Amino acid sequence: MNRFGKTLRWKISVNFRSLLMWTLGFTLGVFLGELMLLPVIRTGGSRDGREFAALAGFFVVYLIIGVMVSICNLFVELDKKPRRHAFLMLPATNMEKFLSATIYATVSGILMMVLSFGVGDTLRVVFRALVYGDSWHAFTYPYLIDMISSGGMVAPHSLGYRLAGLAFLVSGLAWLHSFFTLGGTILRKNAFVITSIVMVIGLTMLAWFSKNHEISMFCTYYVEGVGKVENVGTMAYVLTTFFAVFSVVNYWASFHIFKAFELITKKWINYEFHK
């Protein structure tokens, strides 16, 4: 544990300045993004629930993308030979080094996204209050928390239906994290872009297959004389199993590739496949 802590502190010390600059950049991006998004939302005439729901949705997408970017850069500091040598020579096991890098990238990514969104959202409130006379209480976070705590984001369903949905969500997020971890481990340059393209191609193929074969996963409908009927399709269970299994496979492959890291590597990848 002591070696793991020292390795984690090394990651923080080396990446702190870069993390700070990324946070400032994302804060400015949130501020400008919300300023451009609000006029589009308000063209529909609604200024309250619809507006905050859109901003809350924007936050969720922003958080996921930001964390995936952070994960894809979990070994970005190793591009420089002195730092690569220093990291590989740290007095810790390969597992401790890999876990410290993965945990740092994940936690720092979440903190960076949450902090930058909060500050950027606050700057938007202050700017619009001073310039346009908007409410000083138009923050997104309280609305998002209220939606979650009041169950506004989850429609009333049976326990089995909710558990199936939760298993699908958790396994899907785990697979997404593991997939971008694999991309960030094997690729030295443009890891997020290349990994995202591969993922989009895969999701597009899945959507095409589902549409052409009329496959549904979670659906709720009403039958006269029966009431509400809930159905969890076979594909939902198949994908949940796929996500769970290949999350483990991706993490294993990432660690296997990391163990083979060398001081001198190819320009684009960290692994010699011909070994």
Structure tokens at 197: 């393209």
CA distance 149 to 155: 13
Among the residues of 89-158, which ranges form H helices? 94-132, 140-149
For residue 202, pLDDT over 60 is answered with yes
Please tell me what DSSP assigns to residue 77: G
Bridge partners of 119, per DSSP, are none
Residue 189: band (very low, low, confident or very high) from pLDDT cuts 50, 70, 90? confident
Residue 89: band (very low, low, confident or very high) from pLDDT cuts 50, 70, 90? confident
Highest average pLDDT, of 25-34, 219-228, 259-268, comes from 25-34
Q: Taking a C-beta distance cutoff of 8 angstroms, is the pair 240, 175 a contact?
A: no
pLDDT digits (tens, 9 = 90+) for 97-130: 899 889 999 999 999 999 999 899 889 888 888 8
Please report, in angstroms and rounded to a whole number, the separation of the first and last CA atoms in the chain: 32
CA distance 228 to 79: 56
* pTM of this structure: 0.83
Highest average pLDDT, of 47-56, 96-105, 244-253, comes from 244-253
Q: Taking a C-beta distance cutoff of 8 angstroms, is the pair 228, 222 a contact?
A: yes
Q: What residues contact 146, with CB distance under 8 A and at least 6 apart?
A: 152
Residue 153: band (very low, low, confident or very high) from pLDDT cuts 50, 70, 90? very low
Bridge partners of 232, per DSSP, are 218
Q: What residues contact 186, with CB distance under 8 A and at least 6 apart?
A: 254, 257, 269, 270, 271
Structure tokens at 26: 């994302």
CA distance 66 to 107: 11
> Residue 58's closest CA among 140, 175, 154?
140
Residue 84: band (very low, low, confident or very high) from pLDDT cuts 50, 70, 90? confident
